[in-house]
Structure 1
Amino acid sequence: MTTVSHTTLETVARPSIRPTEPQRRSPMRGVRRIPGWVVVTLLLIAVVYPLFWLLTGSFKTQNEFLNNPTWALPEDWTNLDNYVEAFTTGNLGIYIKNSILATVPALALTIIFGVAAGFALEVMVWKGRGTVLLLFLAGIMVPGQMILLPLFTIYFQTGLTGTLWPLIITYTAIGLPLTVFMMATFFRAVPREIFEAATLDGASIYRQFWSIGFPMVKNAIFTVALVQFFFIWNDLLIALTFTNRDDLRTIQVGLLNFTGQFGQVQYGPTFAAVCVNVFGTLIIYLFLNQRVMKGMTAGAVKG
């Protein structure tokens, strides 16, 4: 019979505990990240600095623009005279109102017609839908500059000039091809079994569109609506062609002729007007950013 010593039993019963050594980070790992940090920093400066320069310029007086260095900060950060002058003397409020009156109806018509056409082209089965989709795609390749003169002649003959209707109709027609194509792509990701089940339950095609199809692509609608909103709001060429009076100018056309209304270049009110336009659209984008990201990923995955 083998005798095992007490010390040997304790050694076997007690597991050996070794202190864990902290993982050492390779110094080269931080060095490899330096180029990435430099690129991100440069991009951040390129994006943020113009906005900061624009904001500081909106608080400067005319004397500061002419006598102080370009990079100098404003002497009075509470000076709102430039914003007041932009809205009163510069008619910035009228320009913003005209932009809203032209953008909202055009955007609503583009979304409603585009979503309905995308639903009909992708969900409904009918002869010739592929040809119709190709016709919409062909509309994307037509430059907008080619149709301005014929449209101006038509609007003049029909008596629509002198109103905002030429802008609304033109924005809707130009925005429809891209909207239809994008919405057809998003509807392609919706499982067909949902619409088949709704048909078996007795839902009409209109009920399927408003109660099933439209809510299921709402994130995609936000994405398309935001893209079309920035196109319409930032348009200059179309608005400049069809607005023949000062009280019909949109904000982009108003900013183009802004400095000429003061007899000389008034930098402060001009910077203030540009700030209202830029930061207003930037806030809208930041507020709807998550919706846009969801809409982009929704169209990239097959359901």
Structure 2
Amino acid sequence: MDELRKTAGRITFPALLLVMLVIQIFPIIWVLISSFKTIDEFRIGSNPFALPKSLYFGNYINAIVKSDLLLYFKNSLIVVVFVLLGILILSSMAGFALEKLRFRGRKAGLLFFLFGIMVPIQVTLIPLYQIYREIDILDTYTSIILPQIGFGLPVSVYLFVSFYKYVPNEVMESAVMDGATMYRLFISIVMPMSANILVTVATLFGVFAWNEFIFPFTFLNSKDMLTVTLGLRDYVGNYGMTDWGATFSAIMLTVTPTFVVYFLLSKSIISGMTAGAVKS
């Protein structure tokens, strides 16, 4: 009986993992396959799960020609760069101060950041819209960069605090005894030791910023400022008619950069997420 249970356990767990993997990967594969179908293959009555009769690359050409996709890529890239700069600089410094510096209100400061995790984004949209309208920054990069930095800080600060717990104090004490200032200590000693957590936070929030929809949809109006997530609406024509081939091709072009970045940096991401889990 025990042997039967062990055998069932060895079979069940991999089977569940396989099912979860299929659920995760199938939509991506379906979009990729659909991006090579011709217009006729999207007609009503055709099998949406059928393989394309041939690889029709014209959809990718149409995706670029019918929409200002390159402009949207540029806008998204600008937003991602400045969001990451703000999150990495502020959260790394805040995490270091909250964990390694001893000052009154340190624990309250950490709780203040963690409280931000519990604030839903949706409840802030109307107040932010009114504030941005009053200070005249609607329809600008600033209007979508600032809230993403603000909502990204709670989690990123927590990750840095957790990492800095296991940075040896002896190393920093030696640097201070050698005459290093606090800023020199942070830049020359702590930051090089934080490479994995920096990559983790950058990748995590870079993907979030690239795929962000609600803030651009709320605060942007002009076509020249749209990001890639909003640009996908360009393929919806009159009376809701959609060029599905171009749409699926644009989706693949949009998500490919995030896949590439994640797979290239996956080892560093895992190391950063598990840093501090076990004290070395």
* TM-score relative to the length of structure 2: 0.91
For residues 249-268 of structure 1, what are the alpha-carbon distances to aligned partners after superposition, in whole Å with 9 as ceiling and x for unaligned?
A: 1111222x233246621110
Q: After superposing the two structures, state which structure 1 stretch, 258-267 or 276-285, moved more.
A: 258-267
Instruction: Report the residue type matching 2:246 in the other structure.
Output: P
Distance 1:267 1:69 in 2: 14
From 108, 112, 130, give the equivalent of 1:135: 112
- Determine the structure 1 residue equivalent to 2:235: 259
**Cα gap change, 1:81 to 1:135, in 2 (>3 Å):** same
Could you tell me which residue of structure 1 aligns to residue 53 of structure 2?
75
Further displaced range: 203-212 or 243-252? 243-252
Map 1:4-83 onto structure 2 (within 5 A): 33-66=10-43, 68-77=46-55, 79-83=56-60
Q: Is the 1:121–1:133 Cα contact (8 Å) retained in structure 2?
A: yes
Q: Deviations over 1:87-122 (max 9, x none)?
A: 121222222211111111111111011101111111
Distance between the aligned counterparts of 1:75 and 1:269, measured in 2?
Answer: 17
Show CA shifts across 1:178-230 (max 9, x none). Answer: 21121111111111111111111111101110011111111011111222112
Q: Which amino acid aligns with 1:103?
A: V
1:226 is aligned, of 203, 211, 229, to 203
Contact 2:66 2:234 in 1 (8 A): no
Aligned pair count reads 276
Shift of 1:37: 4.1
Query: Residue 284 of structure 1 is aligned with which of 245, 261, 270?
Result: 261
Q: Please state how far the C-alpha of 1:235 moved relative to its aligned partner.
A: 1.6
SS of 1:288 mapped into structure 2: helix
Answering whether residue 178 of structure 2 is matched by residue 201 of structure 1, we say yes
Distance (Å, rounded) in 1 between the aligned partners of 2:97 and 2:14: 48
- For residue 249 of structure 2, the aligned residue among 272, 275, 282 is 272
Q: Distance in 2 between matches of 1:130 and 1:176?
A: 16
The answer to whether the 8 A contact 1:188-1:302 is kept is: no
SS in 1 for 2:236: helix
Partner of 1:93: 70
2-side partners of 1:38 and 1:148: how far apart? 42
Shift of 1:49: 2.6
Tell me the CA shift for residue 31 of structure 1. 6.5
Task: Say if 1:230 and 1:202 are closer, same or farther in 2 by CA, change over 3 A.
Answer: same
Post-superposition offset of 1:271: 0.6
Could you say if the C-alpha distance between residues 48 and 209 of structure 1 is closer, same or farther in structure 2, counting changes exceeding 3 Å? Answer: same
Q: Distance in 1 between matches of 2:238 and 2:62?
A: 10
State the structure with more CA Rg: 1
TM-score, length of structure 1 as denominator length: 0.85
Aligned residue runs from structure 1 range 185-196, under 5 A: 185-196=162-173
Q: CA RMSD in A?
A: 2.0
Q: 2:155 aligns with which of 171, 175, 178?
A: 178
Identity %: 37
Amino acid at match of 1:260: V
Deviation at 1:128, TM superposition (A): 1.8
Is contact 2:95-2:164 (8 Å) kept? Answer: yes
Residues 159-196 of structure 1: CA distance to partner in whole angstroms, max 9, x if unpaired?
21231111111111111122112111111111111111
SS of the residue corresponding to residue 76 of structure 2 reads helix
Q: Which runs of 5+ in 2 are unaligned?
A: none
| Separation in 2, partners of 1:204, 1:135 | 28
Output the CA distance in 2 between the equivalents of 1:181 and 1:47: 28
The one-letter amino acid of 1:70's match is P
Alpha-carbon distance in 2 for matches of 1:27, 1:300: 35
CA change 1:103–1:261 in 2 (3 A) is farther
